[in-house]
Structure 1
Amino acid sequence: MSGSKGGGEDSSTTTGTEAPLLSVRGLHVAFPGRRGAAAARAVDGVDLDIRRGEIVALVGESGCGKTTLARALLGLVRPTGGRVTFDGASLAYSARALKAYRRRAQLVLQDPSGSLNPRHTVYDIVAEGLRIHGRAGDERTAVAEALARAGLRPPERFFLRYPHELSGGQRQRVVIAGALVLRPELLVADEPVASLDASVRGEILALLLRLRTELGLAALVVTHDLGLAWNIADRVAVMYLGRIVETGPVEQVLTAPRHPYTRALLSVLPEAPGTPVVLTGEPPDPSYVPGGCRFHVRCPVLAGGEAERAGVADACRTTELEILRGGDASQVACHWARADRPAAGRPG
């Protein structure tokens, strides 16, 4: 993969012994089915930790549950099972508790045009959080500092502008400034550069890395782009059909992927060697999660006979894998990846 690995520049920001800032255990989010249909298991058992100053990339195809998980972490969707812990305290869902929590954890959406009120000036957009949360102090100074940190300088030049007067990159910086003005400890960024031109994406990613360095911000970056994860993240969690199927340090996962799903996602990057792996069909309906390994109906390793040769084909079809634990360690939910195969058959 081309480009420098930005997420590894400040490895001192995380350690395996410090308590996570955000911790998720056994999280489930299900949505009722229509007309008596089975519930859609959008998030189906997830453990995840994010430490202070750490950037974690959550990757996977559209529809795999990434955005639902991100929203559940912020209390925007109430889990049907499991728990979310922030700074050692379980997340409570009263209006007062959620308001206090959202001063410390902020969401950055992928479409700045859709998340900015076209009738409000940049100043009012950024100041809105201060007004909602009743933060004391000089509002003008706080807005100017947030805009400057987001790369809009001199900030006063943007105060009276409206979103339609800004470029796409500038609008995304305004969204980030609106999150920064409350001085949060965690950003959850849902596809933060998906709607931007390629020339602007690198600038926004560099901004997120700088904010981590300058402010000690932690971040969960939701993306379908493994190239983005390579350039920004310390760790990566690969999600499929509501569950994390591979996780670990980003360089280890993306240079030596163990799960066939991760390998398929990586194979379609422009700089990837070999022939792209084309997965058949779409991810299954989350109302009807397949038995056994939830990836087995699309798995090229099973379809190609490699799982049979490794003696795990029956397990792939019938034996469900456990939820991967939180923490920093590399883990994979795959019978084939865990099988005792000859070295030449191992991925990577």
Structure 2
Amino acid sequence: MTTPPLLSAQGLHVTFPGRHGAAHARAVDGVDLDIRPGEIVALVGESGCGKTTLARSLLGLVPPTGGGVTFDGKPLDYSSRALKAYRKRVQLVLQDPSGSLNPRHTVYDAVAEGLRIHGYGGDEQAAVAQALSRAGLRPPERFFLRYPHELSGGQRQRVVIAGALVLEPELIVADEPVASLDASVRGEILALLLRLRSELGLSALVVTHDLGLAWNIADRVAVMYLGRVVETGDVEQVLTAPRHPYTQALLSVLPEAPGDPVVLTGEPPDPSRIPSGCRFHARCQILASGEAERAGVADACRGQDLEVLDGSGGAQVACHWARAALTS
């Protein structure tokens, strides 16, 4: 944990104005998160928790309304010139390869697009071939003149990854990188990302709702709920001994999980009306079962706010009950 982070968010807030004078939606509501060189961090949570907005803010696509982002020790500059240089070093891999690729562009043009935007002065064809080869499309020349509709889903996702790799970035942000792929292909893409980390020293933030994916690929996991990270730590520690009731509920529905699945009641609260106390308390199975009452923390769960977890990566949890259990 002594290595300085490559990418860091400090007290990050992103709010969106409500319609017709309604309260602002606090999509990201105070997040600290560090990603170190060569590290893969999984950002996990259900739909609507703010993880994609956080990722977009880290990429400079959504300016924060509070806090800030630093990259390689320097605050992110939101001028057009600075963002262009930043996006050469930090690349995005989207969920849907079919939507990411222009159906009228060949594979060659899709991968070469980044080079052309950034005014690459070297051998374009050699760079495209190397990126395709690194992404597992070999021999690369065989794919140059193909169109997306001529490829399988896994091959399309490899083209998207090649398009990110061609600029030789230091970090990639992968938003649900295997969600649209068949189970047989998912493992191949995950193995590819791990190989790229070992061969190129690539860092990655993998945004996902799938804890099984996090287990297979990440060094560290950050579990997000209603705009905040509520539990973080080494992936094995968090996913084998989860302390936050929300993490426990997410893990309980995996096929290999012991015991009965925890079915959370209702939907996540409206981010424009975040409840007081623990933001998960309205759906918390520990509070509903009376366990929090027996531990003497039920009132704190309902009314005492929890501080923002720091981004250092040590094992942390934002839960009154879990902290009480640790000290008892």
TM-score by length of 1: 0.93
Give the secondary structure class of the aligned counterpart of 2:88. coil
Change (3 A) 1:224 1:311: same
Distance 2:163 2:293 in 1: 53
Letter in 2 for 1:113: S
2:296 is aligned to 311
Q: How far 1:326 moved relative to its partner?
A: 0.9
Cα contact 1:127–1:143 (8 A) shared by 2: yes
Letter in 1 for 2:278: C
Q: 2:11 aligns with which of 9, 14, 26?
A: 26
2:126 counterpart of 1:150: no
1:4 is aligned to none
Give the secondary structure class of the aligned counterpart of 1:152. coil
Q: How far 1:340 moved relative to its partner?
A: 4.4
The share of aligned pairs that are identical, in percent, is: 84
Q: What's the RMSD between the two structures over aligned residues? A: 0.8
Cα contact 1:42–1:242 (8 A) shared by 2: yes
Q: How far 1:328 moved relative to its partner?
A: 2.1
5+ residue gaps, structure 2, are: none
1:222 is aligned to 207
Q: 2:231 aligns with which of 243, 246, 254?
A: 246
The residue correspondences of 1:193-342 to structure 2 (distance < 5 A) are 193-340=178-325
Distance 1:323 1:342 in 2: 20
2:175 is aligned to 190
Distance 1:21 1:125 in 2: 28
Give the secondary structure class of the aligned counterpart of 1:294. coil
1:168 is aligned to 153
Cα contact 1:310–1:341 (8 A) shared by 2: no
2:69 is aligned to 84
Give the secondary structure class of the aligned counterpart of 2:251. helix
Letter in 2 for 1:162: Y
Letter in 1 for 2:313: D
Q: How far 1:136 moved relative to its partner?
A: 1.5
Q: How far 1:72 moved relative to its partner?
A: 0.3
Letter in 1 for 2:174: A
2:122 is aligned to 137
5+ residue gaps, structure 1, are: 1-15, 344-348
**Divergent runs of 4+, >4 A:** 340-343
Change (3 A) 1:342 1:275: farther
1:97 is aligned to 82
